[in-house]
Structure 1
């Protein structure tokens, strides 16, 4: 490996260390606690060194959000590939979306502004629409005999998303039953009922 490659690998590692440290802070103390100084303390860098990789805290938030959208699209794409029937694909993709939200709740909060301001630059990144495109493709397959317009596809997608995102948001801000097991069972039933009901509306 040449010196140029080693330097680039070191830069990539430093960049990832900064992002990992940011997430560590957020998981421990919340997004409001994140600062360039705290990141520097964790990874034992000087603050000016961090600015060599990210010009601002907003730039870090943007990258974390973009990473989240890439991860979400990958998870939903994998869920889709496990099924051949479009209706099953749709259910699997939304269940994968649900799982992602709770496996990576801090990222999800940032990506969609749950309990905080969303990262606007991250939401506009090239990956932020990918999961919606994946869902819309399957919705079209289910509805193709009706030759749905883009307006109809968009409306159906947002019907799904508003219900599922709403339920996720309620849970992320801890509004629900005190018994966690009971809440989880209720959530799963509501989620599956919503997916089934809206999916049925696509073919009726």
Structure 2
């Protein structure tokens, strides 16, 4: 390994350490408690070193968000991989999404609530965001009852995102999230999945 390669690897490791530490602090104490000074103290680097990787706290949040979309894409892919029928894949997709959002609130906030410059649905959209969307679209496009794969995916995404957001803010009964998810899936499956291919809805587990 050359000196340059070693330095690049060390720099990449420092950058990832900053992202991981910010993510952990946010999950423990909320984003309001995450500052560049606290991050510098936790990773035992000076603030100038931290700023050599990220120009602002917002840039750190954005990096956490991008990593979150990569994690979400992996979770959705894994959840749907073992499902044999379309209705099972739709159920696995929705359940995995809701579980992701409810189990990692600070990460979900970085992805959808905190201020970032991330572009959605444009040529500038990062690959990680595209991959998360494509994991949903790859299932939803199978539906013979859909209207348009992109629009159907966006509406499905809006629905599961709404369940996560309202449950987390206690605008919905969070203990009834499993019921809400089953209701949503029943309506979607009635519209999108031909009757012979429908399975039993009681297979969906509570998030």
Q: Same fold (TM over 0.5)?
A: yes
Runs of 4+ in structure 1 off by over 6 angstroms are none
Distance 1:190 1:176 in 2: 9
Distance 2:136 2:49 in 1: 41
Which of 188, 192, 201 is the matching residue for 2:182? 192
Report how far residue 118 of structure 1 moved.
Answer: 4.3
- 1:120 is matched with 117
Q: How does 1:1-204 map to 2 (within 5 A)?
A: 1-113=1-113, 117-121=114-118, 123=120, 124-143=125-144, 152-177=148-173, 183-184=174-175, 186-203=176-193
Distance 1:21 1:77 in 2: 26
SS in 2 for 1:141: coil
RMSD: 2.2
Deviates more, 1:134-143 or 1:86-95: 134-143
Distance 1:156 1:142 in 2: 10
Confirm or deny: 8 A CA contact 1:76 1:96 kept in the other structure: yes
Higher relative helix content: 1
In structure 2, stretches of 5+ residues that fail to align are 195-207
Distance 1:23 1:192 in 2: 31
Superposed CA offset, 1:149-191 (max 9, x none): 5xx33332233222221111122223445xxxxx43x111110
Distance 1:176 1:135 in 2: 24
Superposed CA offset, 1:121-145 (max 9, x none): 26532221322222222222121xx
Q: Give the TM-score, by structure 1 length.
A: 0.82
In structure 1, stretches of 5+ residues that fail to align are 178-182
Superposed CA offset, 1:73-95 (max 9, x none): 11101112111212211211111
